[in-house]
């Protein structure tokens, strides 16, 4: 576990020195805050939490995915991963270090979203828990893309369209029944359902998100067996 | 300590290593000499299990934790500073972070400890890569062209460091295409040409064997005699 801890600390230090990733982390809660303060709280016809839920769902679909795939792809491209493996770091320790930090950091941002939205009590806990679960799924998907990509450019080319598709599908689903039916199987749609409607039944969306995580874990195992972490 | 026996490696139709056999002893500096493309890095990659050989056997009398590595691509975290880069590995090896500063001192980078890697010169990055390789005081150290592209003063500093590591009990396996460097610091060398070892032994003895001693032993003359080509 000490290797996972060392990689967790590395990822923490590196994230705060990586402007592109910091922008990814800050932009969604910042937009949610600005829109809530300037639009939702001014216009009484708009629910106060509408921008928070919208940007939170986008954040979960995009940020953990992009952070994970770019971290893994960069380590592969710069051959840093080679030195970690040579130092005896096991693949699961590496992925636990990277993924653990990203999920934890996204959990912190989820708390910020909850505070901006003004949620309290059970609603607050449910809101944050759903975002954390969604972040786990996105991190796994990012790890799959990072493993399958040769370098950062390839990871971005593959990761960004997938992230955008997952982040924006729930929004498009509002206007099209067919897309809604397709989007229904993805975790981002279920995250969107749960964060937008605090009175919605939890069982089905929760089941679909967990199912997504299980499927992504299986796909991750297959991708790892095929490509591994070797540069 | 390090042993390769009848190693053959092919990339597709091309045989890049043919029947490579050598052995290094404990606490010696063993140099693998040859021009670019001779197969030096491929041998290091096989010895460190990053590549598998098609034929033959190899072994190292050390665990991954007892092995240090410096390769052509340094793999440093460019946004982090020198100390942070070493502390990652100190954490992995389970050693005190104090060792990171000690390693930086040994390579003369203590005053640059807080500098980000992407602001360092090439020579400083090479030294930092060596500091990472020696951080955990390994029994076996692989150095792939450690002074390649460095100015003579920095190169001399690295030579001193390598000799010092041997004095402290490490076995050093280095590759180079600089014959003077090999004569100066290596206890034994193997000359590699187009994937084959054409000669091996103690540098001065090799030079005497091939009448390549004028004022100083001239390994390059031996290499040209054996292969018909120069090193550059």
- CB atoms B92 and A87 under 8 Å: yes
Read off the tokens for A228.
């591994």
- CB atoms A14 and B77 under 8 Å: yes
Residue B190 is predicted with a pLDDT of: 94
| Contact predicate B104/B67, CB 8 Å | no
Residue B225 banded pLDDT, cuts 50, 70, 90 = confident
Chain B residue closest to A84 (CA)? B89
Residue B55, pLDDT > 90, answer: yes
Indicate the residue of A13, A82, A89 with minimum beta-carbon distance to B92: A89
Indicate the residue of A10, A82, A88 with minimum beta-carbon distance to B75: A82
| Contact predicate B90/B101, CB 8 Å | no
Residue B214 is predicted with a pLDDT of: 64
**Mean pLDDT per 10-residue section of chain A, whose length is 231 residues:** 93 92 90 90 82 90 91 90 87 91 94 91 90 93 89 86 85 83 87 80 88 91 75 50
Residue A228 is predicted with a pLDDT of: 67
Instruction: Sort out which chain B residues have CB atoms less than 8 A from A80's CB and list them.
Output: 75-77
B83 Cβ neighbours under 8 A, 6+ residues apart:
B100, B101, B104, B113, B114
- CB atoms B91 and A2 under 8 Å: yes
| Contact predicate B24/B1, CB 8 Å | yes
Residue B215 is predicted with a pLDDT of: 65
Residue A102 is predicted with a pLDDT of: 95
Chain B residue closest to A10 (CA)? B88
User: Domain range spanning residue A84?
Assistant: 2-227
- CB atoms B71 and A10 under 8 Å: no
SS3 B60: strand
Chain A residue closest to B129 (CA)? A83
Read off the tokens for A101.
């930090």
Å between A4 CA and nearest CA of chain B: 8
Whole-number Å distance between alpha carbons of A192 and A195: 5
Residue B95 banded pLDDT, cuts 50, 70, 90 = very high
Residue B199 is predicted with a pLDDT of: 92
Å between B116 CA and nearest CA of chain A: 10
The percentage of residues in chain B with a pLDDT greater than 70, rounded to a whole number, is 97
Residue A174 is predicted with a pLDDT of: 78
Indicate the residue of A10, A78, A230 with minimum beta-carbon distance to B75: A78
Query: Which range, A109-118, B207-216, B219-228, has the best average confidence (pLDDT)?
Result: A109-118
Å between B142 CA and nearest CA of chain A: 12
Q: Which helix (H) or strand (E) holds A55?
A: helix A50-77
Q: Which helix (H) or strand (E) holds B16?
A: strand B14-24
Angle between helices A187-196 and A50-77 (to 10 degrees): 150
User: Is residue A19 within 8 angstroms of chain B, CB to CB?
Assistant: no
Residue B118 is predicted with a pLDDT of: 94
Indicate the residue of B77, B91, B116 with minimum beta-carbon distance to A80: B77
Q: How do B171-176 and B140-144 pair as beta strands?
A: parallel
Section B176-201 average pLDDT: 91
Residue A230 is predicted with a pLDDT of: 60
Whole-number Å distance between alpha carbons of A40 and A49: 8
Section B88-110 average pLDDT: 93
* Residue keyed to tokens 């203590």: B110
Residue B136 is predicted with a pLDDT of: 92
| Contact predicate A8/A101, CB 8 Å | yes
Please name the fold of domain B1-62+173-232. Rossmann fold (3.40.50)
Indicate the residue of B69, B80, B94 with minimum beta-carbon distance to A83: B69
SS3 B188: strand
* Residue keyed to tokens 């070892």: B197
Residue B232, pLDDT > 70, answer: no
Residue B77, pLDDT > 80, answer: yes
Residue B124, pLDDT > 80, answer: yes
* Residue keyed to tokens 């995250």: A191
Read off the tokens for B224.
């040209």
Whole-number Å distance between alpha carbons of A79 and A77: 5
The percentage of residues in chain B with a pLDDT greater than 90, rounded to a whole number, is 59
ipTM, two decimals: 0.83
Average of per-residue pLDDT values in chain B: 89
> What's the pLDDT tens digit per position in B12-22?
989 999 999 99
Residue A136 is predicted with a pLDDT of: 94
Residue B231 is predicted with a pLDDT of: 63
Domain boundaries, chain B: 1-62+173-232
């Amino acid at each position: 576990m000490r290797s996972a801890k060392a990689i967790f600390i590395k990822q923490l230090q590196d994230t705060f020195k990586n402007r592109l990733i910091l922008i990814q982390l800050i932009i969604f809660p910042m937009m949610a805050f600005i829109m809530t303060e300037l639009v939702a709280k001014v216009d009484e016809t708009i629910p106060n939490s509408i921008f928070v839920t919208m940007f939170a769902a986008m954040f979960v679909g995009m940020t953990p995915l992009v952070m994970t795939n770019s971290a893994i792809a960069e380590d592969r491209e710069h051959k840093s991963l080679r030195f970690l493996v040579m130092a005896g770091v096991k693949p699961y320790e590496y992925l636990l270090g990277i993924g653990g930090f990203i999920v934890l950091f996204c959990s912190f941002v989820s708390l910020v979203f909850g505070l901006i939205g003004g949620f309290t009590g059970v609603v607050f806990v449910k809101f944050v828990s759903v975002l954390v679960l969604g972040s786990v799924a996105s991190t796994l998907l990012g790890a799959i893309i990072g493993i399958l990509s040769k370098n950062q450019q390839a990871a971005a080319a593959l990761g960004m369209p997938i992230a955008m598709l997952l982040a924006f599908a729930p929004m498009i689903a509002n206007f099209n029944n067919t897309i809604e039916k397709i989007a229904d199987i993805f975790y981002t749609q279920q995250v969107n359902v749960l964060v937008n409607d605090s009175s919605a039944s939890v069982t089905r969306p929760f089941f679909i998100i967990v199912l997504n995580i299980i499927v992504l874990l299986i796909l991750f195992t297959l991708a790892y067996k095929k490509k591994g972490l070797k540069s | 300590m390090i042993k390769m026996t009848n190693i053959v490696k092919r990339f597709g139709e091309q045989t890049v290593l043919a029947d490579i056999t050598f052995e290094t002893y404990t606490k010696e500096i063993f140099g693998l000499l040859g021009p670019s493309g001779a197969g030096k890095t491929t041998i290091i990659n096989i010895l460190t299990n990053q590549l598998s050989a098609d034929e033959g056997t190899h072994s190292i009398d050390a665990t991954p934790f007892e092995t240090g590595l410096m390769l052509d691509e340094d793999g440093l975290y460019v946004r982090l500073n020198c100390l942070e880069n070493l502390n990652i590995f100190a954490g992995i090896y389970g050693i005190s972070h104090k060792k990171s500063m000690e390693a930086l001192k040994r390579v003369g980078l203590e005053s640059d400890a807080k500098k980000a890697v992407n602001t360092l010169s090439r020579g400083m990055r090479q030294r930092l890569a060596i500091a990472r390789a020696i951080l955990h005081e390994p029994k076996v150290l692989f150095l792939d062209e450690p002074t390649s592209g460095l100015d003579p003063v920095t190169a001399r500093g690295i030579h001193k460091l390598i000799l010092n590591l041997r004095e402290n009990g490490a076995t050093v396996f280095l590759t180079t295409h600089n014959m003077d460097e090999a004569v100066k610091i290596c206890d034994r060398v193997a000359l590699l040409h187009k994937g084959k070892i054409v000669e091996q032994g103690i540098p001065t003895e090799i030079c005497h064997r091939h009448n390549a001693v004028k004022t100083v032993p001239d390994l390059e003359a031996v290499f040209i005699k054996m292969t018909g080509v120069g090193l550059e």
